[in-house]
Every structure is written in C-alpha cells, then in structure tokens.
Structure 1
Amino acid sequence: MYKVYIVEDEHLERKALQMIINGQAPNVKIVGTAASGKDALKGIAETNPQIILMDINIPEINGIEVLRRVKKSDPEKKVILITAFNEFDFAHQAIKAKVDDLLLKPIRPEQLIASLNQAIEGLQANTRSNIDEKMSEIIYAVVHKKYTQCREAVQTYLNLLYDHYGFDLISIQKEVQTLMRELQTVADDNGGYEIVSPLKSTSGHKHFARQFQNRYNLRVEIMKVIGKIFDHMKTNPDRKSSIEDILNFIDRNAANDISLEQVGEYANMSSYYLSKIFKKETGMNFVTYLTKQKIQIAKDMLINTDTPIINIALDLSYHEPNYFSKVFKKNVGITPTAYRRKYRNTGAQTEAAE
C-alpha cells in the first residue's frame, strides 16, 4: 500500500481527487490533505507519504516551492503537480524542480490513475535498487569485518523490506534467504563455515512468522549469523588482533558481562597492554566503551520490543535494575521508561541507531 498526500486549496477539487483515488486505486492510501503550501510541508513531514499530488497554485507557499523543498529533503518521493495553466513557464519551473508528472485541469480519472501507477512503478524500481544496494553493503562490511557498519546496514535493509512488503512475510522470508545465501558464500570463502540458522529454512512462512514476529527479532538472528562468521574469520590465534577486531568482538558480546581480561585473551594481549592501546585508539577506557554499547542495545530494545525494563537490564548483565536505570539516565538524559514513552511510536528506528 502506497501513501499519498493531496494538496489542493479548492474544496470540491480536493474531494474529487479523493473520490477517484478511493474508488479506482486499491493499492494507494490517502494519508492526509492540505489546502496550503505551509500546511502541506507540515503534513508531509508528519505522514511521510511516498507520493504527493499537488496543485501548483496554492496559498502561502506555491506548489513549485513545496516541490523543491520535498525533493531536497527526499529525492525519492514522487510529486505529481496539477495546474490549470498550460504555459511553458510553469512546465519549465516544474521540470527544473524535478517534478515526476504534470497534469492539466480538468483531470480525467484515467489520467490520474495512470500517473499514480507510473509513480508506483518508479518507487518499486527505487526500492528494489535500494534493497540490493543495502544487501551489498552488508556483504562488504562482513568481508571487511566492520561489525558496526554491518549492524546499521542490516537495520536499514530490514526497514526497507518491511516498508516495501508490509505484512507480506513470504516475500520478506525470500529476501532474507537470499541474504543468507550471500553470507554463506562469504563463510565458504573464509574457512568453510556452514551457517546454522532458522533463517536458512525453507519451511512455510507461518513458521517464519512465529519465530520472527518483528524486525527486531529478525535483526538479532541475522547479527548472530554475522557474528559467527566473524568468529571463524579470525584464522590465526597467535596473531595480535587489530583494534577493529577488538571493537567488533566487544560490540558482538556487549550484552554479556565480558571483562577486559576476556577481551585480552581474545586479542592475544595482556590486559595492561590492551587497556593502553584501547584508550589511545578510541579516546575512552574499556568500561566506558562497553557501557556505551550496552546503552545502545537498551535503546534498541526499548523502542522495538515489549521486553520489560527489568528483563532488559538482566539481558545486559545489569543484575540491579535500579542501577541500570541510573546508568541509562546518566548516558541518555532520561530514564528507560521515559525513553520508551518518547520514542516508541514515533518511527524512531533511526534514533536507536545513532
């Protein structure tokens, strides 16, 4: 379902557009309307539509200027402009501002539907390209052992899948299985590790849905697979690890109660030497960095799961929930409860990733 926002200052014209779309465009949902450019910019920011259907001649801020601002903010949004003026100047300005289509009034229903379908085809092509590009970024980050980049790319990849497919779990499962095949190729090229994960299963989508009820659970499982590949890529146990290897190891195990000694054992370094180079390379000590990573996981869980705060604390090896809340507030500025209340329903996937 694609979201459309209508901007038209004439009440009857606006209603006519709504009637055509509601009656003849089943794959489109109207998420808002506005009668002025100022209200349009506010409404577009709040509803985040993929398609904007807008009259050029609207009050306060005209349609051409709204088009410019929308395209500057998000070039992939599709903007269809409507005008009663068949003049070269308007068309030239609209094309220069990268309009996706220009319709002349009075608009025939078949013209409007054809324009919407064209916009949808463009969005689908963009999404396919973005999904493929993000999957390539995941593979690149795995090959080059960049765990943090992996985590961020996986989150964006899943956001793209869920935004594009919605509740079509069959398609999401197929996309993830493609990613698993690509990751298996990387594993084969780095020691022949065989990935063991329910994500490789070809069982029905109902089984997939039961195991991975939301994108958070799915992301956790994908990152487990990537973490195992990273473990098998450390081929020489006698070689001292690079700082990137060390940070990857800490990031992957931050939820556990790992110690400087355990990291030193992994890195083949003494705790004293590791502590010195860690501070030199990162600008912070081990405990500060580990706490930072734990808080990042906590923010993610607060936004994307229903896990009680006491369980989040225990999952992150904070055995005293009150102490966890104190540490969280010190680092974030608000309590875990306040953070969940503030960001839970505001599309804050990006906030958690920062």
Structure 2
Amino acid sequence: MRQLLIADDEKIIREGIAKFIQTSNLPVTIVGKAANGRQALEMMHATHPDLVIIDITMPAITGLDVIEQAKEFLPASKFIIVSGHDSFPFAQKAIELGAFHYLLKPIKRNQLLSVVEHALETLSKDEDIIGANGTTITSVPDASNGTVCEKALAYINTHHCDSNMSLNLVADKFHISQSYLTRIIKKSTNLSFTEYLNELRIKQAIFFLSTREDLLIAQIAELVGYSSQHYFSRVFKNHTGVSPIEYRNEKRG
C-alpha cells in the first residue's frame, strides 16, 4: 500500500478528498490530513508519504513552498496540486518544482482518482525500470544511491518537464562525459537521451490533453518542457501518429 498525505486549509475539502480515496479501490493509505503548510511539512517528515495532495494557497506556508522544501527529503514522492486558481503561471511554477499534476477546484471524483492512479503507476515504473538487456534497476528515483545510470535516470525522470534539460546539463551534474552518459542511457533504456526525454514529455502531455481541457496546446507544450509549440506538435505526432489537437478532439468524441 502506498502512503498518501492530504493538505488543505479547508476541512470540507480535506475530508472530501479523503472520502474519495477511501471509497475507491486504489492501493493507498491516508497517513495524515494537514490544515496548513507547516503542519504538512511536519507530517511529511514523520510519515514520508509516497503521494501528497496539497492546496496551493494555505496559511503559514504555501503549497508551492511546501513542495520546494519537501523535495529535499522526499525526492521520489509525487505531489498533486489542488487549487481554486485557474492560473497558468501557478501551474507552470508547480511543474517547475516537480509537481505531478495541477487540479482545479471544485474537484471531480473521477478526475482526482484518475490522477492518483496515474501517479501510482508512475511511482511503480520509476521503481522498476526494465532495461533492454532485461535487468531491473530498482529504486530509480532515489538519486542518493545506486549507479551513475540510476542517478541520471532518476534526475531525468524528476526534471523532464524542465525546458533547460539537456544531455550536457545531466552529464555535468554527475561529472561524466556526454558520450558516456549517452552510452549508459542507451544500454539501460534502448533509447537515446533525446528519445527517452521526449517519451517522458509526450506521456505527460497526453495526460494533460486527456484531463485538462482548460489548457491551450501552447500551454501544455510549455508545461512539459518545450519552448516551441511547433516542435512539440511535431514530436507529438511522431510519437502518436496524430497532432495534439487531433488527439484532444478524438478524446472528446
């Protein structure tokens, strides 16, 4: 069972989210319900949750500040933002901090459960990456242990939506050459660095296209790390066979 923490200064929201989770069949246990940012951080230190659902505007410490601080001791945890603010800058900042998703209030049960389920799947995939040679790399998100390859993949998995992500940046971070990084990523994933990065970004974009009709295609492109909507659309079509707009329209139909 995964451990889940809920943080929202509105009791009715906290209890509503908890009820949604408890009446679902998702393999999660609620380990805490925090009423403000400071309390959320205290609970995170005590319980080390795998998943956190957190409001963006709370007294004492905002949800964004909580995520920024918590990432230092919970690098593998997934953070889902819930907010009453339909603000692209808020969503962009949340993604930059490594938030998994950004949900708007009022929260719809099916949408929340879909996002939580996707987060749980991502946690499992992060912890069990199967390389082309059939070997298993465990605990990939924990960049403090393991091989250089595990650390590099963990970093890419966590920061793939960063528009500054590059082969050179990752190589410099782990003090290895770009050619060596290219080889170990290819050996582990059977993909080049760019192919692996694009695969992560397109999966995230597909999820946004499926769950966030309020976001424009250009905004989704920016959120998942592409500075050019045209380039994003080209990469998306290469991966899926359709453009982002066509994909969204098919989902609506």
Q: TM-score, normalised by structure 2?
A: 0.51
Distance 2:137 2:24 in 1: 33
CA distance change for structure 1 residues 25 and 112 in 2, over 3 Å: closer, same or farther?
Answer: farther
> In structure 2, the residue corresponding to 1:46 is in which secondary structure?
helix
1:132 aligns with 136
Structure 1 regions of 5+ residues with no counterpart?
Answer: 136-151, 154-354
Give the superposition deviation at 1:46. Answer: 0.5
Letter of the aligned partner of 2:102 in structure 1? L
The alignment covers a number of residue pairs equal to 137
2:113 aligns with 113
Distance 1:134 1:113 in 2: 26
Give the superposition deviation at 1:134. Answer: 5.2
Residues 7 and 33, structure 1, Cα contact 8 Å, conserved in 2? yes
Give the superposition deviation at 1:74. Answer: 2.5
Distance 1:9 1:134 in 2: 36
Letter of the aligned partner of 1:47 in structure 2? T
CA distance change for structure 1 residues 132 and 109 in 2, over 3 Å: closer, same or farther?
Answer: same
Distance 1:34 1:51 in 2: 14
Residues 83 and 102, structure 2, Cα contact 8 Å, conserved in 1? yes
Deviations 1:282-313 (A, max 9, x none): xxxxxxxxxxxxxxxxxxxxxxxxxxxxxxxx
Residues 9 and 34, structure 2, Cα contact 8 Å, conserved in 1? yes
Greater relative contact order (Cα < 8 A, sep 6+): 2
Structure 2 regions of 5+ residues with no counterpart?
Answer: 140-144, 147-253
Distance 2:24 2:138 in 1: 34
Distance 1:134 1:102 in 2: 28
Distance 2:19 2:100 in 1: 22
- Greater fraction helix: 1
> In structure 1, the residue corresponding to 2:136 is in which secondary structure?
helix
Rg (Cα) greater in structure? 1
5 Å matches for 1:167-182?
Answer: none
Residues 53 and 82, structure 2, Cα contact 8 Å, conserved in 1? yes
2:66 aligns with 66
1:21 aligns with 21
Give the superposition deviation at 1:73. Answer: 2.2
> In structure 2, the residue corresponding to 1:129 is in which secondary structure?
strand
> In structure 1, the residue corresponding to 2:128 is in which secondary structure?
helix
Q: TM-score, normalised by structure 1?
A: 0.37
Distance 2:25 2:41 in 1: 24
- Greater fraction strand: 2
Give the superposition deviation at 1:48. Answer: 1.0
CA distance change for structure 1 residues 69 and 126 in 2, over 3 Å: closer, same or farther?
Answer: same
CA distance change for structure 1 residues 134 and 9 in 2, over 3 Å: closer, same or farther?
Answer: closer
Give the superposition deviation at 1:58. Answer: 0.8
Give the superposition deviation at 1:75. Answer: 2.2
Note if 1:103 corresponds to 2:103.
yes
Distance 1:92 1:30 in 2: 27
5 Å matches for 1:6-17?
Answer: 6-17=6-17
> In structure 1, the residue corresponding to 2:29 is in which secondary structure?
strand
> In structure 2, the residue corresponding to 1:54 is in which secondary structure?
strand
Residues 25 and 113, structure 1, Cα contact 8 Å, conserved in 2? no
1:31 aligns with 31
1:47 aligns with 47
5 Å matches for 1:269-280?
Answer: none
2:241 aligns with none
RMSD: 2.1
